[in-house]
Amino acid sequence: MTVEEFNRCVDEHADSLYRFILKNVKDKDKAKDIVQDTYEKLWLKVSDTEAKNARSYMFTTAYRTMIDAIRKDKRQGSIEEAPMIALSTNKQYSDLKEILNEAVSKLPEMQRSVIMLRDYEGYSYEEIGGITGLSESQVKVYIFRARTFLKNYIGSMDKVL
């Protein structure tokens, strides 16, 4: 991949990559750091990566970097976050997007990732399998389970509205 192809690839996929990571980590600064790390890793492999495979490489790298960051945060924890979690629960919702975001945040890590890659980013099952390292059938299972959970969590639209 040439420098021009690298720059074009970053320009084309920066927004969708950032959105994907932000939806999972819910921290703008951490999402920016993960995306930046992804660009750095792509730059280090720029001579080994073809331009047509760069998008898949970036999402796979970003996903794995995000998983590493999540695992690191789970080990470390944060004293400031503990009270905020208790205070952030609110039973009255006025925004459907807010309801959906809360429901998605309650999904297990892997289900959240595959459902977002499929429904938010529009990846095929095969591409999601390549990004996450899962088989195509396992991707379908996780997406089915995630959608079932979301359906049960949100319930009927009459109750939400």
Rounded (10°) angle between helices 125-132 and 54-76: 50
pTM for this entry: 0.54
**CATH number, domain with residue 118:** 1.10.10.10
Q: How far apart are CA 79 and CA 75, in angstroms?
A: 13
CA 46 to chain centre: 24
Whether residues 96 and 80 fall in one domain? no
Say if residue 22 is in the same domain as residue 100: no
Q: Indicate whether 79 and 158 sit together in one domain.
A: no
The count of domains in the chain is 2
How far from 99 is each of 87, 104, 160, CA to CA, in Å?
A: 17, 9, 8
Alpha-carbon distances of 95 from 83, 89, 111, 112, 151, rounded to whole Å: 24, 15, 23, 20, 17
Are 102 and 83 found together in one domain? Answer: no
Which of residues 59, 87, 115 is at a domain's end? 87
Structural domain range at position 36: 1-87
Written as tens digits, the pLDDT of the chain (161 aa) is 888 888 888 888 888 999 988 888 888 999 999 999 999 988 888 888 888 888 888 898 899 989 888 888 777 665 555 555 544 555 554 577 787 888 888 888 899 989 889 888 888 899 999 988 999 999 999 999 998 998 888 875 555 55
58 and 120 together in one domain = no
Are residues 80 and 22 part of one domain? yes
